[in-house]
Structure 1
Amino acid sequence: MTREVLLFIGLFSLDSVMGQVSYSIPEEMAKGSAVGNIAHDLGLQPKRLVSGKARIYTRDSDEYVELHRERGVLLVKERIDREALCRQTTPCALHFQIILENPIEFYTVTVQITDVNDNAPTFENGEMKFRISESTAVGAKFVLKGALDLDVGINDLESYELKPTDNFALKLHNKADGNKNVEMVLQKPLDREKQEQISLVLTAVDGGEPQMSGTMLIAITVLDANDNAPVFTQQTYKATVTENSPKGTVVATVTASDADHGINGKITYSITNTLDGVRKIFDVNEENGAVTLKGNIDFEEYRKYTIDLLASDEGGLTDSCKLVVDVQDMNDNRPEIDIMSKSTVISEDAEQNTVVTMINIEDKDSGENGDIKCFISNNIPFSLKASTNNFYSLVTDSELDRERESEYNITVTCSDEGVPSLSSSVTLTLHISDVNDNVPVFEKSSYEAYIVENNTPGLSIFTVKARDADWNQNARVSYMLEDSSVNGVPVSSYVSVSADSGVIHAVRSFDFEQIKDFQFRVKAQDGGSPPLSSNVTVKVLIQDQNDNPPQVLYPVQTGGSVVAEMVPPSADVGYLVTKVVAVDVDSGQNAWLSYKLHKASDRALFKVGLQNGEIRTVRQVSDKDAVKQRLTVIVEDNGQPSRSATVVVNVAVADSFPEVLSGLTDFAQDKEYNDNLTFYLVLALAVVSFLFITCLVVIISVKIYRWRQSRVLYHSNLPVIPYYPPRYSDTLGTGTLPHVYNYEVCRTTDSRKSDCKFGRAASQNVLIMDPSSTGTMQRIQSEKSILDEPDSPIETGFKQILPRHTVISEKGKGRKRCCSWAD
């Protein structure tokens, strides 16, 4: 907004003043906008405007400006439209006066309204139509109606523009009144067949800011001439068809036009392909140009088809085009899994990330339908890794253990990204080869085997068994004895073990009486490389067999003397005559001995204790009983079958010693007679049965055998078998011999180790006579001094267990008798 103030002061009278002020504002200012500070511009105080009741005076009925007296400013009262107020007149201004009273003052105010580009150029009609023959010559002119712009100055109409300019150009002529004459000039021949209707747009543009314009449509109809062939709307058509679409599906419709009319404008369509099989798959409608399917279409076989189409009119004129059909893929193919290279066997010690198999995956589909993802089952020590496009490698991702799992069936599944997704799978069988990483393990931590003595050498004792978790050669277990000794002898001389079966055989025959148990170690070794082994302890326990008969220790059976037990005729019932002492080197129940009276001169007189072997009287001994009593006692063990030994006990029933001696002589004679009879019988049998040389060999063999047996017993580690003859006492007090001497005997089967100790007098009597001797027996004089000591430890220990032999003594008559063992 500009302001011009022109002040003219004149004197019409003493109280009148006149001035002039000019303002310039744009149109279309908002209501209440300030025009100017009239008080300031006129040099007045605002209170003067109030006191002078200043007001605006104008002849126009419309007031566009109002006065605000308190502020001393002019304000826009109504919207000012320059075009409605002044039209094309320039400049456009408002004129009014400001009048004040007391004293009267008069001021003229001019407000110039400047133009704003608020109107676009407009045409009287929105469309003009022309009919022009296609034979019209170039340069022909066609007058157009111009546009009108209500704005003035720079905002007024400035130029015209015609589009498109293919056939026509625009030409302007200035008129005398300043307006412009607009003409359309033909600059290119028309062709109805190409363009029967031509639409042009004439645009009028003003020079304002922002620039505004108006348009008019020019419609031109081109009149026809029959001079054209059919023409396709496109030289190349494109269409898309989904594979596996059903027959009859419309692929595309091609359209050709003929600018001619009538029969020359009728068009027929056809396919001209010959060699590529297109005509077997596609067909075209002759009338409307619709191309349809007549065969099966497969994206994987052909992804694109090019169809040559021909349009012919009735006059023989033709046109051709191409229809390019892109086949759209459908997810109709499953991924194909190809095993490129694979290993059916892998070692259990294979390192992590060892490649097992290479796999190639291919899906004939495309896009997402051909995008493949592969995976394998979980909880197996393998993983699937993508190496390059569509190539995968199956690798190990943790340690393998054939003993835990010797074979894996790995299923590889591949799925595409199509909807719905298709998948395929293949199963690979992978065997884990063995590595010798497990030692043989015995079924038990230790073994105990039992064998009965006197076994046959080579007898199978026991079988040890070890298992190896490995396979084949690595699991082939061999057994062997570890080097050791038993009692200083290599264990291999006792037992052997089968390398293949683990059966333990006895190498020798075992004797329980020599060795009761022994142990050794067996090693199990596999066939791996290097081999692994473990060992186990085997303890062999020898079980006793009843192979030894009882051995009678007392009474001693000798060939040169007779031992007799004396029983007084006055002996009462239960009188202890003697005690048969026997031992059995076997053990257990095989060594449990029982005693039985087999023969007796008088069975009603004596009995034998079943368990203790004590011979006692059954009834009262009388004078009528024979002095010579002969008892045969059988000693049996408890084995199965039982074995036994026989002992002969001679008993003399008498009060006086001469009677005893005579009885003993009879015993000796009977024995000598029996011995002679046996000798003659054996001699006769030998003479009749064998030749001299045979007898000699037999005798030598028997001697050698006995010598070897004695040597074996002599060198054995068996303890010395103590022999303790029974300690007898006359419990009934009926004995007639007052004094008895004790002695101790320890014997083994080897007489060189025997021992004899003599003791002091006791209460029992024994009588030993040499059959060839009739003299009085000598008393035993030599007694061990240690046994003479009362309560000696040795005597005290033996008193409980040693049997007692006696020496007969008669002091009352001044004579002494004794008896001793005879050689």
Structure 2
Amino acid sequence: MALVRRSVLFLTLLVHIARGQVSYSIPEEMEKGSIVGNIAQDLGLDLQRLKSGKVRIYSRDSTEYIELNRNTGSLLSREKMDRESLCAKTTPCALHLQMIMENPMEFYTITIEITDINDNAPSFQRKEFRFEISESAAAGARFLLEGAVDADVGVNDLQSYSLKPTDNFVLELHSQSDGDKSVEMVLQRSLDREKKVVVTLLLTAFDGGDPQLSGTVQIDVTVLDANDNAPVFTQKVYKAILTENAAKGFKLTTVSATDADEGSNGHVTYYVASKDDIVRNMFIIDQHSGEVTLNGFVDFEKASHYQIDIQAKDQGGLSDSCKLIIDVLDINDNKPVISLLSMSNSVSEDSTPGTVVAMMKVDDTDSGVNGQIHCTINDNIPFALISSSSNFISLRIEQQLDRERDAEYNISVTCSDQGVPALSSSASLSLQISDVNDNAPVFEKSYYEACVVENNTPGLFIFTVKASDADWNQNARVSYILEDSTVNGVSVSSYVSVHPDSGLITAVRSFDYEQLKDFHFRVKAQDGGSLPLSSNATVKITIQDQNDNAPHVLYPVLTGASVVAEIVPRAADVGYLVTKVVAVDVDSGQNAWLSYKLQKATGRALFEVGLQNGEIRTVRQVTDKDAVKQKLTVVVEDKGQPSRSAVVSINVAVADSFPEVLSEFTDFTHEKQYNDSLTFYLILALTVVSLLFIVSIILIISVKIYRWRQNKLLYKSGANLPVIPYYPPVYADGTLQHVYNYELCGTTDSRMSDMKFVRPYSQNTLVSQSPINKNQSSKYER
């Protein structure tokens, strides 16, 4: 087998193309997946044509053996093929396939011949042969042997026999009309029972393959006493005619042989000697009368001719043989079979006449007029049947179609044979007429507006856009697409999404009004036509503000290290502006409308806050009973629902002198009475700071005077030097470039001294250092 497989690899595939037909020749037993041939190359077809034409391989009874790879155009074997199982002795052995393509419809006939390889050895049906031959048998007596069977054909079939030993017998081969060989054992030297009662021979059958295969059977010859006459058939060939589907037990003929001997040596018995098991089971013979009868059912479509070998044997072992040839007559017992190879479920109403919409193959296994077929369709439809070779029929458009007149056709195809009586079959085809895509989707509105409250949850439904298409079916199926654009440099798809089927617009993220007030985008509605049509609509999404930010107080600002206080003279008039609370709210609308309320005050009847502007003014004259230290708590509240608010505390000093203010506001930071020792240290610290300040002023003045004198001398000595331009000093970011004046006041009637800082722009804000920070160095004029 290994040599056979290697030889298969070097077999050449024969390809013939003529009038749409392709022929290949392959050896049997090819491995699964082996390439039979490239149909695309051999027919000159483009691979893309195979895909667009939905190419299919059709075979009535051989589909399981061959498949088509659409990507490469190669025909591949789906499994190993045994030529003997497919065709038995029929030659040539071929698979007949049809290849169908659509748009436009085409078909090709493919013939794949399966060549034989020597994979079957000759074999005998019986394990041994037994003969009883009289010793009186004369030289030249013939004994028919049952030949060997080889499933292969051609040179791989049975070719020769050999018989060993050849002391008494030789072999003779005779070619028959059907190409088979009959084997006879011929006596060439008389037997002598007294020398040898049983003669054992070995019969070997050889085929013509490479390597050569063989089969053997043993022949045992029992030597009998004299029987000198063999049976003789009255004729060597008998003929009979049998109608298919004949009943079991039907008598075919009677064969007859005579023997000149008397007694048991002249008694003849008959046997079917054919090698084919099917034939031996299909026909039986009466051993005594020679009557041949049918033992099964014959089918003309399977076999139209039988040949039977019949042997007549006497009791002495002598025999003769004849042939019975049976011809089977066909009857019209098979209806035409309509196979729908390809069918377009729908065609466009603008299809041109001549377009193929269906391809059918009609088969009738009967022969002669019983297998001749004629097909028709129902009347008054714009279609026609066109017949081609090999019983292929195509259904084509005969007239222009109009979907508005007929949207569907039910076509009945009837095929009848020419037998008597005629047999027929019908097939119904349903064909839809499809619409042409000539209408684009139309939105209900070309401009949509919607509002979304900020801080929404992602996935929130916003609203739905809707478009309709006047076409039908797929051409009217509308899909919605979000056109690509950017919002603040980011793709709009990160803000919203559009459901492709429903047009439902949903939020992808949570919106923030403070970052994005509104944005625009476009939605495209596209139909499902093969050449899709579309239209656009503009959508505007407005973000509505939500009260999610509390007011923020800009002024006054309290720090942990200082107390901000406003001074109100005791002589202040009614309506005196103490200070103004400044606040902002990043929300919008009423969520940013701020109102100011005095929540808490040391003297509630002394001050009031402007509801809209946050101005703190006096509502009456200051009296001696009013405390120097006034602490106000102002609430800033927006108009949102629910509202948000912020609270600021303001210190107000009601006093005319700075020491009075300072002594009182020391308690703002610590909220307790300092003892005398702490006051002493405070006065000491102020004194030291004052001395250091005076010394610093003196040093600065001295340095100024010294530099002025140096510059004056340099000017006199360098009158002829070039002028050097003056560049003002550059201050770093955050460095003050203004002149600040500091005023130091010391009291003589107390151990306590006060320091007053006069601020620029005549502001009424007093900064009183806490005791832990009063030792910090003072800033001087820059």
Same topology, TM > 0.5: no
Structure of greater Rg: 1
TM-score (norm 1): 0.33
TM-score (norm 2): 0.34
